[in-house]
Amino acid sequence: MTSNETRWDQFVEEVANEGTVWTIEKSGEYVTSNNRFGTKCFPWWSSRARVLKQLETVPAYSGYQQIGFEWHVFLEEWVPHLRRARCLLGINYASHENVGFDLPIQEVIEAVSQTRV
């Protein structure tokens, strides 16, 4: 299993068990980036510790802060906007290169929903 696959499995398990997803913001602005195919991606992490580590690792994230959302808030408030923006979800990015999976929203929702306890 690759480290990306491990991070994906951890994302699903942690979000399903903890019920929270994390992203970063600075003054009400959120980070997006384009992947190598030019598709807009919005990064999400499955734990506060993961996002804090990434904030320390990526110089471009200087000044950003972590912010968590309960899973139901993510589904109700974030998903409609992310779908309209045609974003993929960047899952548990790691290292200074922000390596991770960029996945369709529905795939992430289904995986977490099937794993929820």
Chain mean pLDDT for the chain = 92
What are the extents of the domains in the chain?
3-115
pTM for the full predicted model: 0.91
DSSP strands (E only) in 27-112: 29-30, 33-34, 40-44, 65-70, 88-94, 99-103
pLDDT in tens, 36-67: 899 999 999 999 999 999 999 999 999 999 99
Nearest Cα residue to 9 out of 101, 104, 105: 101
CATH assignment, 3-115? 3.40.1350.90
